[in-house]
Structure formats: structure tokens, C-alpha cells
Amino acid sequence: MSFFIFTPIAGAHENQMIIINKKTNQLGFYQDGILQKVFPVATGRQRSFTPEGKFTIINKIINPPYYKKNIPGGSPHNPLGPRWLGLSAPGGPFGIHGNNNPGSIGTYASNGCIRLHNKDILWLYEQVPIGTPVIILWNDTDLNSGFVDNKPIKVYLNHEAVTLGSDLRTFSRQGKPYIPLKLLCQLIGYHLAWNIQTGTIELNRSGFTASLTSNTKKALLNGQQVNLTDPPLVINGITYVTESTMEEIFSVDVTWQPDSRGLYLSVETTPVTAAEQCEAKPEQSHDSLQGENRQPDTNK
């Protein structure tokens, strides 16, 4: 199953992102590249009604009026609900808004806009500034699969507890533990570098080379292409790997105890010194988009 973990876009809105999957009628809100909430939504009665692509929030309106039927903002009969987040999509105006028909949420019901329950749009409205990126797509992905468990993981190397710095985040996703690739390389004695020309992460040690590409299963191991079980993930410019990659690329024996959040690594190596440590810095993967202000009307 595919999933989404996004590197934030640079700018004033860099910490937030919205993903809307029309096929599953879900809206995901991301903070710092991590999925925070998933809301049910209503989208267009036909697939073509709700535009697909990369857009931005271009305006925010409290109690938007519904001009088509001259219904004032704040009226319980207003089909736009209590809040409006306007989108930069062409052919609109299109927006993310509340509704006066909660039974429509989760269905294909609108003229093109994205409807939320009123309590959900009230919450979302407070989280996102103008300029927030919005991606609208159509596929089979359940956005709930992107949730991660941020409870810290206790890492052990050859049965010795590893002290993690405050800048080294660990988490689990779909029951799998993830730790920074930089940390793993430091622990087991691999050199790590970012190849800006190829956009790959280069790993080497005596008699060993590997090349990884973030969010991609294809890798090179001693010059031979291999397919990883789980791709490296990039969150906020940091690359993370899970147990399958540790075993397939680094030949580390891994034991994961989810109940105690213990990750046990067994290797035959000597950790590198601080002077030998390198850090990979994957480039940002999304470009910000700009739009012009528009007013909501009939596209509900």
C-alpha cells in the first residue's frame, strides 16, 4: 500500500500541509511532515467536479455568504457552513468548507468543493495559514495508514543501551520501528554522505558500498540493484530506516519488541568516532504554489 510522508515546503506555511484523497473521501492534515488528523469529507458528485493537483490556500473567510441563493453567512441554512478555505485551483472558486447537510459527508455530493463536518472545519481553519499547500488526488490509499506512533524507541546495540540526543527522533509506523539513518551509521561504523548530483545517499565501509534513494525501494548494494522491503523515509530533511532495511543493507540482526518499544541491534563492528560522522541532507521535494484571492459562491 502506498502512503504519504511529506517534507514541508519552505516558506511561512512550511509546517502545514493538506492532502485530500477523493477516492476515499478523506482529508489529511500534516504538521512538520507528520500526519496529525484525518477527516471524512464530501467531494464532487463526479470525479471531474473536484480538481486534482497541487494548490494552495488563498483566502480564509469566517461565516462565508452563499451568494447563489442569497443566504447570509452564519445562517444554519448556509451550505458553506461556518468557515471557508479558498483554493488556488483554476475554474473555481473552489474551497474547503463546512456544510448544512452532515449526512453528505463521506459521499460524492458536491459541485466541486470539499465539505467537512462543521466541527472539523472549525478546527482545521485555526491550523492553516494562507499559503498552506493542498494536494488533491485520487487513489486507493487510506490516509489513516500514515499515522505514526511518536512514543520514543529504546535502542540497544549488542545489548547495551544507546543514549539518543534530543535531535534524534524515533517512531513506529504500522507497527514498524524507524530510527535515523545517521544514527544507525554512527552506531555500526558506516560512513554516510549525500550525493547532490545523483540525489542519493551514499554509504561505505571497507569492502562495502550502498546507494539509497529516499522514499524509493530501489537501491544499489555493492553495485548491484536490489529492491528493499521498505523504502527509506524522509521527514523534515532527516532520513529514517526500519528493521527490514537494517537487515537487507547493513546485515544487522534486529529484534523489535513493540510492547516495550525496545529495538535490539546485534552487529560485529566498532562504532565510528564523532570525527568520522557525516550527515545526509535530502533536498526538499515540493514547490510552493501561489494563488489569487477569490470569493466563494456556487461551487459547494
Of the candidates 13, 97, 117, 185, the residue annotated as catalytic is 97
Closest residue by Cα to residue 42 from 102, 84, 126: 102
Looking at residue 33, its amino acid is G
- Check if the beta carbon of residue 86 is closer than 8 Å to that of residue 106: no
Helix then strand count (H, E) for the chain reads: 3, 24
Classify 30 as helix, strand or coil: strand
- Check if the beta carbon of residue 199 is closer than 8 Å to that of residue 284: no
Q: Establish whether 113 is a catalytic residue.
A: yes
Half-sphere exposure in the Cβ direction for 70 (13 Å, CA): 0
Query: What is the full DSSP assignment across 86-135?
Result: EE--TTS--EEE--S-GGGTTSEEESSSEE--HHHHHHHHHH--TT-EEE
Of the candidates 113, 185, 278, 286, the residue annotated as catalytic is 113
Dihedral of the alpha carbons of 35, 37, 38, 41, in degrees to the nearest 10: -130
Closest residue by Cα to residue 186 from 155, 216, 207, 217: 155
Q: Which three cell numbers stand for residue 247?
A: 537487515
Tell me the C-alpha distance between 41 and 39, whole Å: 6
Catalytic residues: 97, 113
